[in-house]
Amino acid sequence: MGDPAVVVDEVPALRQIFAVEFTSAAAAAVEARGRFVVAVPGGSVATTFFPVLAELPVDWLRVDIFWIDERAVPPEHPDSNYGLASRLWLQPAGVPASRVHRMRGELADLGEAARLAADELKTVAGDPPHLDLAIAGVGEDGHVASLFTSGAGLTGSAGQTGSAGLQPCPVIAIYDAPKPPPRRLTMTLPVLARARRVIVAGFGVSKAKVMHDVLHGGADPTPVGELVRQARSPLVLLDRPYSH
């Protein structure tokens, strides 16, 4: 896949770069296919970038918004990735509810929640799904979305059994994540890596070491290392605590 473009700068400058990337990707997708399909994270990337999205001159009627992962909580819960996006971006920007495709983390049956999310994603983005833009943060341990080293979802082999046998699933349930809460929903690595553009963002000293290993350590085995390696067009945004 493509070598990553890497930008290291102060956070305000990274916000501006992100805004340009988002609007450019949206315009290109709408011109080519009539819609822009984006998958977004929670965490520090959301708190840093979502207020910027709320101010962009984007036609939100042409944008379909998905989440790369979600905690098994109701949408009004403080830990909900959807809830964070709603407060910082969706409500201030007046994004139509019909364009918002949240994962149903509140369902008791997480397997059913994963199937519903996968079906909705395939309806909008095709089968297999092709996102126009996937945005991911990175954990101190190198996880992205709710994909952890040696966990499910890294190969896309976890799937549903149908008439053709085991089929890759774009969204799966996680029951034993090493980071609380243990119950989660997540897009799988192949879906994220297949996106036409992938942005990985890491902020602060705690993320600097793992990103240094990804960019300079060869075949880094972490999920973020695999995503950066497999992505067709990766962009890595890092703040000043990262050093070459």
| Residue 32 burial (C-beta neighbours within 10 Å; 0-12, 13-18, 19+) | exposed
* Residues of the chain above pLDDT 70, percent: 91
Q: What is the pLDDT of residue 161?
A: 29
* This prediction's pTM: 0.92
Of 219, 154, 166, residue with least CA distance to 191: 154
Give the mean model confidence (pLDDT) for residues 128-151. 94
Average pLDDT of the segment spanning 98-108: 98
List of residues 6+ apart from 161 with CB closer than 8 A: 167
Please check the confidence at residue 240 and state whether its pLDDT lies above 90.
no
- Write out pLDDT tens, residues 154-207: 765 443 323 333 457 899 999 999 999 999 999 999 999 999 999 999 999 889
Contact (CB, 8 A) for 223 and 191: no
Written as six digits, the tokens of 48 are: 């840093």
- Nearest Cα to 17, choosing from 48, 59, 42? 48
How far, in Å, CA of 67 to CA of 40, rounded?
A: 5
pLDDT tens digit sequence for 38-57: 999 999 999 999 999 999 99
CA dist list (Å): 4 to 137, 192, 197, 211: 15, 15, 11, 12
User: Dihedral of CA 123/28/50/198: which sign?
Assistant: positive
Which residues sit opposite 238 in a β-bridge? Answer: 8, 202
Give me the amino acid identity at 200.
Answer: V
Residue 213 tokens, joined = 């290993």
Averaged over 13-35, what is the pLDDT? 97
Pair of tokens at residue 135: 């945005």
Burial class (CB in 10 A: 0-12, 13-18, 19+), 14: buried
Judge whether 39 and 66 are in contact, CB under 8 Å.
yes
**What average pLDDT is seen over the chain?**
91
Which tokens belong to 124? 């909008």
Task: Classify 156 in phi/psi space as left (phi over 0), alpha (psi -120 to 50) or beta.
Answer: left
**What crossing angle do the helices spanning 43-53 and 11-33 adopt, rounded to 10°?**
70
What domains, with CATH codes, occur in the chain? 5-233 (3.40.50.1360)
Of the candidates 134, 153, 155, 152, the residue with the CA atom closest to the CA atom of residue 66: 134
The whole-angstrom separation of Cα 72 and Cα 155 is: 22
